[in-house]
Structure 1
Amino acid sequence: MRLYDRPYLILGATTLIWAGNAIASRLAIGHVSPMVLTTLRWVGTLTLMIAIAGAAFRSEWPVIRAHWKWLAVMGVVGFTGFNALFYISAVYTTAVNIGIIQGSIPVMVLAGAYLVYRTPVTGLQAMGIVVTIAGVALLAARGDLAVLTGLGFNLGDLLMLIACLGYAAYTVALRERPPISPRPFFLGLAIVALISSLPLVGIEIAHGTAQMPDLRGWLIILYVAVLPGFVAQLFFMRGVELIGPGRAGLWVNLVPVWSAVLGPLILGEIFAWYHAVALLLVLGGIAIAESGRR
């Protein structure tokens, strides 16, 4: 059986690549600035997407043009906003924290679907949401109750939390996705992401904080453009095709696990007791919520 027909290998590789994005964001510090990284990432990903989806994009252009406003909002929130905040947060927090907070997206989506569409939420799902939120709060407070009461949160953790809330909103809104095939749809969002990232890099240049990539910076850009930006997206779409969106979505829960392994292994980050407890709460909350699925 070909690799592309093995859903568990594909989805496992997808989550490993996504966790590697957090590692890359930390390795980029001092070698390329966050907004330059964001823009050049989309240049690379867009180039690859045009090569494989350009013809389909042109054939579906009438439908894409009719829904361009919706695509613009989705691209700004789900792609540009998420990645910009993701890479900025890496300046202030660890890859382990980024991965654990990113792991809370599934329950954010669950809560968002209830708020927007009144999708029924069972008691177990509500309990899972509360447990996951407790895990994220513990992580942001670094295990110190005084941080919670004094609101002295790490800026990077807060930025990553906002990024995840935005991506959860994007995911919930996908329910209203227009009738566009997956690859042309992704190409359209990538075009929006590149265009909307240009003002951000302009602000970085105006403030004198822009840093063009050195050799290591270019290698990091190559990684985030090709693997998280391109390969992981195609792999995840293939995983959904093979086993369905519900079962494929559960694999996102592996991202914080991979991050908890890769952060200390590659970056030498400390894995403290509150990381372990937060990881258990986030994964446990998701498990509880999933056990309550209709």
Structure 2
Amino acid sequence: MINKNNVAYIFLFLAALFWSGNFLVGKFASQYQVPPFSLNFYRWLFAWLILAPFTIQELFNKRSYILENYKYYTILGITSVTIFNSIVYYSLNFTQVISGVLMISTIPVMIIFISSILKIEKTNTFQIMGVTCSFIGVVLIITKANLGILMNLDFNKGDITMVFGMLSWATYSALLKKKKHELSQLGLLEVVISFGFIFLIPIYFIEYQMGFRIVLNQNFYMILFYVVLFPGLASFIFWIKGVALIGANRAGVFLHMMPILSAIMAMIIFNEKFMFYHMLGAIFILTGILLSNRKIKNA
């Protein structure tokens, strides 16, 4: 008999691997001058089309429920589909994969921060310390541990926009667990894509009018193939299966593999260097993650 833990570990590892690869492909897209917002537009267009045959009946049956909660699903769609993924692809035009993925790795801690602000969950002392440490880690990466950059506000704009992306996804994640959904997980994904995609349409045309246009060639097709099928759909499905087998808490550990996997691939493929400021930032971020997961024992 196959051990369910081993099956879950394979699913979760593949989910983390494919999500990690999204940063590499985003970097390839910048090198091949694939417009970031247009790439995100086509990514979610095709993801929606692929999911439609499996979800359209459910969405039709639940249309009243969806329309009653349209404001909530609009926010989920904007923060995840419209903003986060667009910003990741945009930021990688200006910053290293290693810097970007290290900052994104703070999302679990930022979820705690956003949940506290929105009064979704209470925080404890360890979580506040964790948020602080992670924030310091991000600042070290953005400033390259150089006080002069901080004093002169001479930041890499890719690093700054990645921070907004990080906060956007943390907001999405915090709001996602605020309420129970009367939809299947695939149905929920399709609804979030639908609302987020609506706001991608004008952004796509603005980018198009500015002269940033997709060139239909082999490079674009390969990039689109990856972002739609792997981080867009396969990772999500593998994640659902893995969580169902071993639970969300144990599965969450696999998200922390993403910075490692992405950094290794970036160093091999793009010859990126793991700098001293990356190490400093990673130490603070890791400390923040560990602190935020500690529980206060009852006296």
* TM norm structure 1: 0.93
Of residues 198-207 and 144-153 in structure 1, the stretch that sits farther from structure 2 once superposed is 144-153
Question: Is the counterpart of residue 93 in structure 1 residue 90 in structure 2?
Answer: no
Distance in structure 2 (CA, Å) of the matches to 1:89 and 1:241: 33
* Counterpart residue type for residue 190 of structure 1: I
Equivalent residue number for residue 119 of structure 2: 117
CA distance in 2, matches of 1:293, 1:116: 22
**Match of residue 292 from structure 2:** 289
Q: Residue in 2 aligned with 1:46?
A: 48
2:79 alignment partner in structure 1: 77
Q: What is the distance in 2 between the residues matched to 1:3 and 1:270?
A: 38
Query: By how many angstroms is 1:224 displaced?
Result: 0.5
* 8 A Cα contact 1:63 1:180, kept in partner: no
What is the Cα deviation at residue 243 of structure 1? 2.2
Which runs of structure 2 are paired with 1:162-173 in the superposition (5 Å)? 162-173=164-175
Which residue of the other structure, out of 149, 162, 173, is the alignment partner of 1:147? 149
Q: Larger deviation: 4-13 or 223-232?
A: 4-13
CA deviation vs aligned residue, 1:210-237 (integer Å, no higher than 9, x gap): 2334211110111001111111111112
**C-alpha deviation, 1:109, in angstroms:** 0.4
Alignment of 1:261-280 (within 5 A): 261-280=264-283
Q: Which residue of 2 aligns with 1:24?
A: 25
Whether 2:219 is the aligned partner of 1:216: answer yes
Distance 1:272 1:23 in 2: 18
| Partner of residue 61, structure 1 | 63
CA contact (8 A) 1:98 1:160 kept: yes
- Out of 216-225 and 23-32, give the one that drifted further: 23-32
The answer as to whether partners of 1:60 and 1:184 remain within 8 angstroms in 2 is no
- Where in structure 2 are there 5+ consecutive unaligned residues? none
- The residue that corresponds to 1:11 in the other structure is 12
Between the aligned partners of 2:148 and 2:8, the Cα distance in structure 1 is: 44
Look up the equivalent residue of 1:9 and give its one-letter code: I
Q: How far apart in 2 are the matches of 1:127 and 1:121?
A: 10
The secondary structure found in structure 2 opposite 1:291 is: coil
Q: 2 CA distance for matches of 1:50 and 1:161?
A: 32
- The separation in 1 between residues aligned to 2:194 and 2:216, in whole angstroms, is 22
Report percent identity of matched pairs: 25
**Does the aligned pair in 2 maintain the 1:38–1:83 contact within 8 Å?**
yes
Matched with 2:158 is: 156
Give 1:68 shift.
Answer: 2.1
Hey, what does 1:127 align to over in structure 2? 129
CA deviation map 1:47-86 (0-9, x unaligned): 2211332333233233223222321221011211111111
Moved over 3 A (4+): 2-5
Residue matched to 2:35 = 33
Question: TM-score, normalized by length of structure 2?
Answer: 0.92
The verdict on how the C-alpha distance between 1:71 and 1:274 changes in structure 2, with shifts beyond 3 A counting, is same
Distance of 1:122 and 1:63 partners within structure 2: 35
**SS class of match (2:155):** coil
Deviation, structure 1 residue 270: 1.6
1:252 paired with 2:255, answer yes
Deviation by residue 1:243-268 (Cα, 9 ceiling, x = unmatched): 22223223222211112111111111
Compared CA separation, residues 277 and 72, structure 1 to 2 (3 A): same
Aligned with 2:252: secondary structure?
helix
Instruction: Give the conservation status (yes or no) of the 8 Å contact 1:89–1:160.
Output: yes
